[in-house]
Structure 1
């Protein structure tokens, strides 16, 4: 059985949620049944199948955002929230 494709909003809508310095607030739900990114109020809600173990969920957050924004993963860094569901990422 093939994996369903993740549901991503347009890159422009995601980037519109950034502050003036290119930072983006992300609320993460690790271990979800499906992967998706949605816009919610003052930030982004991201659901990933990755478990919050050994940084797997953090890596998945960066990979999903990079794919949605059509950027290299190296252009996105985790600024805050390494062990929290509330994260701040910097988009370079």
Structure 2
């Protein structure tokens, strides 16, 4: 089975500078995906949560979906939780 590809910038309409994105992260998933469910962004990653690896992967996947550089996303809250908030700088 082929791994699904995320389209770069598929959620570019959410990329407003200064906005806060509410994210629900799922580590140890089969595939890296980003989905929109109402105002909640669902991000799955194959990375494990140990040592912050999943946070890095979630940030990278979210940035890819928004069409921005990962350095523009700041984790505001939820470093050890599934529910996170990222600010777009």
TM-score interval, smaller chain? 0.7 to 0.9
| Residue range with higher mean Cα deviation, 74-83 or 36-45 | 36-45
Asked if 2 retains the 8 angstrom alpha-carbon contact of 1:30 and 1:57, the reply is yes
Q: Give the TM-score taking structure 1 as reference length.
A: 0.82
Alignment of 1:49 onto 2:81: no
Give 5+ residue unaligned stretches, structure 1.
none
Q: Secondary structure at the match of 1:55?
A: helix
Asked if 2 retains the 8 angstrom alpha-carbon contact of 1:26 and 1:44, the reply is yes
Alignment of 1:6 onto 2:5: yes
**What is the CA–CA distance in structure 2 between the aligned matches of 1:6 and 1:55, rounded to whole Å?**
23
**What is the CA–CA distance in structure 1 between the aligned matches of 2:42 and 2:57, rounded to whole Å?**
13
| 1:51-91 deviation digits (Å, cap 9, x = unpaired) | 00100000001111111122111100100000000000001
**What is the CA–CA distance in structure 1 between the aligned matches of 2:67 and 2:34, rounded to whole Å?**
14
| 1:26-72 deviation digits (Å, cap 9, x = unpaired) | 00110001111000122100110000010000000111111112211
RMSD: 2.3
Corresponding residue pairs, total: 88
Over 2 Å off, 4+ runs: 3-9
